[in-house]
Amino acid sequence: MMSPRLLIVGNFVSSHGCSRGVCEELAPRLRASGCSVLTTSRRRSRPARLMDMLYTVWRRRHDYDVAQVDVYSGRSFLWAEAVCWVLRRLDRPYVLTLHGGDLPTFARRAGRRVTALLRSAAAVTVPSPYLLNRMTEYRRDLTLLPNALDLRAYRHTVRRPVQPRLVWVRAFHQIYNPAMAPRVIARLKDEFPSIRLTMAGPDKRDSSREATMTIAKECRVESHLEIQGPLPKKSVPCLLNMGDIFLNTSRVDNTPVSILEAMAAGMCVVSTEAGGIPYLLNNEEDALLIPVDDHKAMAQAVRRLLTDPSLAERLQTAALAKVRNFDWSVVLPQWRTLLTAVAMGALRDSGPISDTCSVNIT
């Protein structure tokens, strides 16, 4: 198999305290597999990042055969449109990768733009059955390539019995509803005095972090709560290994890597059923799902795990079995097959190869 020369266009900004994007995991692994990989952009400022993306696409036009472009909703969608416009002018094929639980909502408002962009690509990948289901009306031949992780970094330990050690790892932003977490602790602290919640993630500066701290104070759970900043990727397994129950409080979601990491670490997962979560997790089988914004239901789910050892062990065992499908050893060869086919012109000549590149994650 040839090694294609790649340009990956996405947000490589974790060094600035932002969440680590999937592109930051994909690029070095493709490079290690033998591909030539260029990346853009690491600029912190959004306007500067867009300018750097466009400049790199043009300036390095003789150094790549195919581009992979991340696509998000909102203003970021315009970035993808601009980058792909330049790629078309250069006659360079590109693969789009759709992200974000809010993308289907955005697509309903901007259907013509979304359809035009998706149909202009050599291939379009999605990381979840949720987006596969919701975005097929804009292009039918989507390829399912899930977000991946290195299972070797996690302990894979089933907790017997589960202890009241809770972990929350997301960005502090209103769509992830971090302020819900201290309310959960407030409903459990009398019954489980040793309960402890660690929250970690970058501050998106929409006052969500401050609101979380305010509610913790109002609920008198400050002594049960530790709030940390963004963690280096290599530190996440250590934090998860110190917890037993993972909370996901989001209002909008797709297939969060943080949940996959918690499953890989052997934790019990309690999550809202926002967006793509029910496509990833099966309630009562490998996780407990509760309605969005319902801190009472989340507290009750945590209580069940702490008082029913057989339930907790069953969920952990099933979660560990499921997450094996997300290991890089499974997903990376699928990426190479797709990108190589595009680089060789296979998609232009003989149609999509989504059936051969999809990964079963059910």
Give the pLDDT confidence of 24-56 residue by residue, as tens digits: 999 999 999 999 999 999 999 999 999 999 999
CATH 3.40.50.970 for the 5-148+327-357 domain, yes or no: no
Instruction: Find out whether 125 and 144 touch, Cβ atoms under 8 Å.
Output: yes
Spell out a b/e string for 199-234, using b for 16 or more CB atoms within 10 Å of the CB, else e.
bbbbbbeeebbebbbebbeebebeebbebeebbebe
Give the mean model confidence (pLDDT) for residues 278-304: 97
Give the domain ranges of the chain.
Answer: 5-148+327-357, 151-324
Same fold, 5-148+327-357 and 151-324: yes
- Asked if the model's pLDDT at residue 279 lies above 80, the reply is yes
State the pLDDT confidence band at 19, using cuts at 50, 70 and 90.
confident
Q: Fold for 151-324, please state it.
A: Rossmann fold (3.40.50)
- Asked if the model's pLDDT at residue 158 lies above 90, the reply is no
Under 8 Å CB-to-CB from 333, ≥6 apart: which residues? none
> Which tens digits make up the pLDDT trace of 178-235?
999 999 999 999 999 999 999 999 999 999 999 999 999 999 999 999 999 998 888 9
Partnered with residue 283 across adjacent β-strands are: 287
Instruction: Find out whether 122 and 347 touch, Cβ atoms under 8 Å.
Output: yes
Q: Is the peptide bond before 161 cis (omega within 30 degrees of 0)?
A: yes
